[in-house]
Amino acid sequence: MKFIQTEFKGLLLVKFNPFEDERGVFIKPWISQDFEQSFGGVAEAYFSSSKPGTFRGLHYQIGSAAQKKYIICLKGSVEDIALDMRINSDTYGRVFRHRLDEMSGYGVLVPEGFAHGIFAYDESVIVNFCNKPYLPEQERGVSFKSLIELKDLKIEIVSKKDSEFEPFARGLVR
């Protein structure tokens, strides 16, 4: 397992080695001893399936509920999207984008302080590990429509909740 630092401090690409033979593909995307320092423990893991053109996000939690997330694509192809909302960060207000393909041997580790989303190119399934439990009263979001960096995505399906998030406002984390 290899952790690759991106230009966003603490946001890592995680490279693990898939094993493929005539039966299919075997992956081991989580080894506790490898993740202890950069992630800690897992409080929750969830799977989501999405139809092509679906956008989920951009979600984040505030205060002590802020989460680290580790995302892997099990089926299809998705784009992992993270907006740096850490006011004192060199990459504050910038958007990270990385395509994850099914069972590819890559995952994305998103640190606290980012709003996070997923765009599905195909019928897709992801798994998302979180270091802290989800607390609905601590959840906030950012409207994907407010980010020019996402204008190229052919977004066709968005939940009502996600479509009503406020635009990103520099200097403001609620």
- The alpha-helical segments, DSSP class H, found in the chain are 32-35, 160-163
Question: Does residue 174 belong to any structural domain of this protein?
Answer: no
Q: What is the pTM of this model?
A: 0.92
Any idea what the CATH number is for the domain that residue 100 is in? 2.60.120.10
Instruction: Say how many domains are in the chain.
Output: 1
- The alpha-helical segments, DSSP class H, found in 95-153 are none
What amino acid occupies position 76?
Answer: G
Question: Does residue 168 belong to any structural domain of this protein?
Answer: no
Question: Does residue 54 belong to any structural domain of this protein?
Answer: yes
Question: Does residue 143 belong to any structural domain of this protein?
Answer: yes
Structure confidence at residue 170 (pLDDT): 66
Question: Does residue 173 belong to any structural domain of this protein?
Answer: no
Question: Does residue 8 belong to any structural domain of this protein?
Answer: yes
Tell me how many degrees the CA angle 23-29-30 measures, rounded to the nearest 5: 130
Instruction: State mean pLDDT over 55-75.
Output: 96
Question: Does residue 62 belong to any structural domain of this protein?
Answer: yes
Tokens 């399934």 appear where? 125
Residue range of the domain that includes 62? 2-163
Question: Does residue 170 belong to any structural domain of this protein?
Answer: no
> What tens digit of pLDDT does each residue of 84-119 get?
999 999 999 999 999 999 988 999 999 999 999 999
Comparing 7-11, 33-37, 77-81, the range with the smallest average pLDDT is: 33-37
Confidence of residue 174 (pLDDT cuts 50, 70, 90): very low
52, 93 contact by CB (below 8 A): no
End-to-end Cα distance, the chain = 35
Q: What share of the chain is helix, strand, coil (3-state, %, to 5)?
A: 10, 45, 45
- For 158-171, b/e burial (b = at least 16 CB within 10 A) is beeebeebeebeee
Burial of 88 (0-12, 13-18, 19+ CB in 10 A): exposed
